[in-house]
Homo-oligomer: A and B are copies of this chain.
Amino acid sequence: MTESERVPAERKRRRPTSSGVVLSADLIVDAACELIDAQGAQAFTVRKLGAALGADPSAVYRYFRNTEDLLLALADRLIGESMAGFGPSGDWAADLRELGMRAYRSALRHPQIAVFSTVRVTGRPHEQRAVDTGVGLLLQAGFDEATAVRHYHALVDTALGHAALDAGVLRLAPAQRAADEQAWQAQYGSLPADEYPSLHRVREHLPLMAGSAVERALDLLVAAMRREAAERGE
């Protein structure tokens, strides 16, 4: 399932492209990353990737079976980046939260990829390292094997799920985003108290729903785990 199955990991014939660049899987992933960073995920296309590389778009298919395969490679790089410099602090719960936030941030940075990184098993080093770290924290907290796996799964998927969601916001043009927020205020700010009693009561606090809920969701998850571990230890 890795691209090395499809293509020999080491290349012998390195032939420069017409513009002089010598291609490689790594270089292509680099370019894809930059492209997404600079132009937004929406702007990522094989053809633009080719242009950015100074090569024919179809050259990409010598290195990756298709675009999904390429995004898969990108995913593992992301995981690696997000884990760089991470060191356990000793508070396993805080570390888990940090792990989740790291996953969230890196996934959000390249929204297109967020979905793939959990759906597909990259099975590559970075992914394995991250899973090992997270599960290790939960084992250290005293959970049994099955529960550790389950809780890790819940935490990471929640972080990545929020990333997938929040990515949608970033895709909107700023102008539209602003217009949407105003529409929100108008729609929800003045609802009849008799039909929507709860909404009416909390109307002043509705702007709280504007941002992302990751942090709060992770806080709640970690709190529940902490409590569970404490009870387990009694």
A145 lies within 8 A of chain B by Cβ: yes
CB of A203 to closest CB in B, whole Å: 9
A192 to B37, CA, bound (A): 36
Count chain B CB atoms within 10 A of each CB in A123, A152, A209 and give the residue with the most: A209
The number of times this chain is found in the oligomer is 2
A13 lies within 8 A of chain B by Cβ: no
A217 lies within 8 A of chain B by Cβ: yes
Which 10 A-B residue pairings sit nearest by Cβ, starting from the closest? Answer: A161-B161, A123-B187, A136-B198, A119-B168, A220-B224, A224-B224, A115-B168, A164-B164, A121-B184, A157-B213
CB of A214 to closest CB in B, whole Å: 8
Seen from chain A, the residues whose Cβ lies within 8 Å of a Cβ on chain B are 1, 115-116, 118-121, 123, 128-129, 131-133, 135-136, 139, 145-146, 148-155, 157-158, 160-165, 167-169, 171-172, 179-181, 183-184, 187-188, 191, 196-199, 201-202, 204-206, 208-209, 212-214, 216-217, 220-221, 223-225, 227-228
